[in-house]
Structures are given as C-alpha cells and as structure tokens.
Chain A
C-alpha cells in the first residue's frame, strides 16, 4: 500500500542552524501539507501546497519557513534559523480525495 515517507525520523540541531525536512508524498496525490505537533499538544497546520505553489499558510508559518517541491516526488520543509520552540514532531501529509495520509513524522529537537 502506498505511503507517505519522511526522512529523517529524528533530527537534532543547534539553535540558529538551518534544517531541511524531507517528504515523499503518495505519487498520484495533488495536495501536500506540513503540520507540527509540539510534545503533548495538538497537531497544528503549517502550510498547504498545490499546483506547485503555497495554497494556504498559518500564522506559525513565518519567514523562517519555506517549502519546495523540487522534483516530481520530493516535498521539503526548510527552517532557516531554528529556535528552541521549533522543537516538535513535523508531519508531512498528502491527499487526492477527502482524507489526508500522514507520514510517520520527523522529530526535530533544537538544542
């Protein structure tokens, strides 16, 4: 069964460093998303991407964040200068119909 794949599963980074989180969505899906979940809290929407451009973004998704779909398969989230409060689980999701399918997440720890 096709699935959304995220790499790496864990990433530890120094505050102020740039990180790139990678995702391979399900191949025939059209809509792509990033969400984050701070430990013990609810899942929060960051950004949606459709037709090679950002469709919607939340107030969390400020200038430190960017997304790219550099080729036909990968979808990346870049955080330019990480802060301690960026520590969270980051989920990529994709969909074609109603339901969104999530990757297993990347746990980002900023130290």
Chain B
C-alpha cells in the first residue's frame, strides 16, 4: 500500500482563490511527522510546512496551513489567496518514528498546481 497518496495529479486554480491539495497517509506508528514541499519548474525542493502527529493545532506558515485530520489520516495543504508564483509541483511527505530519528522522508507522487490569471 502507498504510504502517501496524493489523488490530484493536476489542478488549475484562478489567482486569488484558495486551494486545497489533498494528502492521505498510512502508518502504524504513533509518532510521525507530515511535511509539504514545493518544487517549482527550476527543480529545487522548498520546505513549506510541518505537522507533528502529536500537535493538536493545525500548523500554519503565512499563506500555508495544514488541515490535519488524524482519525482520517489526512494532511491537506491549504494555500490562501493563491498567487501566480504558487504554480509548481507540491509534494506531501511523511517521516515515521518521531522527529528525533534519522529516518528519511517518504513522498507522494505530487500535485501539479497551475495558477491562472
């Protein structure tokens, strides 16, 4: 089974609208972290936001928020007031086993977001 599932291969959104990128995950660990990264066409991986499994509040970073629903094992990224510069690939990722270990990230297949003027 996929550990990270992103069901939207591509999305078109009008500028200034809010957008929700879906992510569901699968783990039997109690302690894990969830991450979103942005990959523009230039190729670099840009960290956006992190949510720990024990965090009760949804994480927010500027225009980004993570809608964490633990019982449903979902960690959707919400971008408010989208901008043309938000056009990119977005990857959801998970690290199992808590924040203190050296475990690597497992990534989803990504969502290609295109913001239209």
Contacts and interface: CB of A to CB of B under 8 A. Distances in A.
B109 A100 contact: no
Interface stretch (A15-23, A69-77, A79-87, A91-99): A91-99
A69 B43 CA distance: 25
A92 B89 CA distance: 19
Contact of B107 (A44, A97, A104): A44
Contacts of A31: 102
A104 B102 contact: no
B52 A43 contact: no
Contact of A56 (B44, B45, B104): B104
B103 A48 contact: yes
Nearest to B6: A42
- Interface SS of A by simple majority: strand
Interface residues of A, number: 29
Nearest to A9: B43
A71 B103 CA distance: 23
A46 B33 CA distance: 19
A105 B44 contact: yes
B52 A56 contact: no
Contacts of B107: 42-45
Contacts of B46: 102
A31 B95 CA distance: 13
